[in-house]
Amino acid sequence: MNFMPVLDLLPAPFALAWLPVSFCLASASESALRPLLFQLVVIILAARLGAGIARRLGQPSVVGEIVAGLLLGPSALGAVAPELSALIFGGGTTPLTEGGLGTNEAALTTLSQIGLILLLFLIGLEFDFSHIRKQGWRAAAISIAGVVTPFAFGVGLAIAMVPRLESLGAPASLHPLCFALFLGTALSITAIPILGRILIEMGMQHTAIGATVVAAAACDDAVGWILLAAVSAAAVGQFEMQNVILMVGSTTFFALAMFFVVRPFMLPWLEQAVTAGGTEADSQQSQLSLGALSLVLAALLCTALITSLIGIFAIFGSFLLGAALSGSPRVRDAIASHLTAFVTVFFLPIFFTYTGLRTNIGVLGSVEAWLWCGAVMVTAIVGKWGGCGLAARLCGMPPGEASCVGVLMNTRALMELIVINVGMDLGVIPPAVYCMLVLMAIGTTLMATPLAAHMLRGSPYEQRLIERQFLRPQR
């Protein structure tokens, strides 16, 4: 509320006397905002610190950001300094893992979901179908093995876990088939954005092995999102055939409309809008006008709203729009120049902290729970690393390079966190299994860079890795 007109009408002494009252009223109106602002300061600074430490340890910066988000949750800060954790994130509300949402936690949840919508749009925009066409049968074979093997292993592990789910805190209403399908899908994911960062930092993005891995991972992610959409539709539809068919049919129709109606109309218009911003010579500096960018954001939010109404989560709509608009470097670079930095620095740390607040290692309070956690980790690694590595070897790659492909395809990180948060929101995984999958996502990502470099010892890529300090020279 603006009290300045009132102050203008009062004599000076009365105006001065009114100022403290005005300040108190303004302070009361922002009492709910201040804790959120403080939380955001802590989250952003913690993420930057984590990213810096990760880079010094030879890991991608996003690994440090993920770990920083988890350390802010009940597994670390909440366990070591509960008073400080309550001061920052408590606010007298129940934890996210218990289903209670206070004002600040609801705000963090909303911000994280908006961040995911923007992130999935950017990931879809970066999706390069040419990788799949260029690598052909080898990438297809590795991708098929990288989906089928971990999916089968995951379903098998889920079947073994079903009789013990109640002891892991699962409600009796949890559908066993939905749990099995979701666990299989979760183990099939490869984090192509993080994989791309790893390859760039290793200087391998333009090599044959790099192109093969990126193409296979792109296929994996495409299949993984289809599987996740199908499982989500089945879960929301409670496996009632009519509801599932309606949701799958609506999703398919929407995807076809995006690629055959929206893309032919919107992509040429965006290319013209980018061209208007600069010449071919300065294409790297070309940007969309604010008007064009606002229409892109409006379309993005509309597609997210449509898939949310369909029942398969808003992030699917944003990813489909991004994929539909992919293929034009000028459009991609122009949109990314506006969105990428802010999404990376602001929204992603919020999502990682949101994940951390939902992850409580304390729920793994028994020997049995930790044994199941180990089983999830081993199954994920054997399924993805073993399946992809064996397929690469059968396609004629040398043993070291084939094993490197398997290790890199085993990277899960951010994409896995997105998938398991969907599972948590759907109620198809209990908090204990959610925690297991978070630990698996971090573990498989941490092992990727050092193991991949080790597997390439003695290969034509060894000197490149030595120059970038991923390997030490042999004496």
User: Rounded distance, CA 458 to CA 23, Å?
Assistant: 69
pLDDT at 286: 63
pLDDT at 29: 56
User: Rounded distance, CA 195 to CA 213, Å?
Assistant: 9
pLDDT at 238: 67
Note the pTM of the prediction, 2 decimals.
Answer: 0.78
Domain map (residue ranges) of the chain: 103-456
pLDDT at 128: 61
User: Rounded distance, CA 87 to CA 175, Å?
Assistant: 38
* Beta carbons of 47 and 68 less than 8 angstroms apart: yes
pLDDT at 376: 96
pLDDT at 127: 67
Measuring CA to CA, which residue among 201, 275, 215 is closest to residue 453?
A: 201
**CA dihedral for 237, 239, 240, 242, sign (positive or negative):** positive
pLDDT at 391: 93
Give, for 228, the enclosing helix (H) or strand (E): helix 208-236
* Helix and strand element counts for the chain (H, E): 24, 0
Task: Please calculate the CA angle 302-304-309 and round it to the nearest 5 degrees.
Answer: 95
pLDDT at 251: 82
Residue in the block written with tokens 């004496």: 475
The residues, any chain, with a CB within 8 Å of residue 425's CB and separated by 6 or more, are: 313
pLDDT at 265: 92
List the structure tokens of 406: 């398997």
| pLDDT < 50 positions in the chain | 1-19, 21, 23-26, 28, 91-103, 279-283
* Beta carbons of 352 and 66 less than 8 angstroms apart: yes
pLDDT at 277: 56
User: Rounded distance, CA 433 to CA 164, Å?
Assistant: 11
Give, in words, the CATH class of 103-456.
mainly alpha
What's the alpha-carbon Rg for the chain, to the nearest Å?
24
User: Rounded distance, CA 436 to CA 170, Å?
Assistant: 14
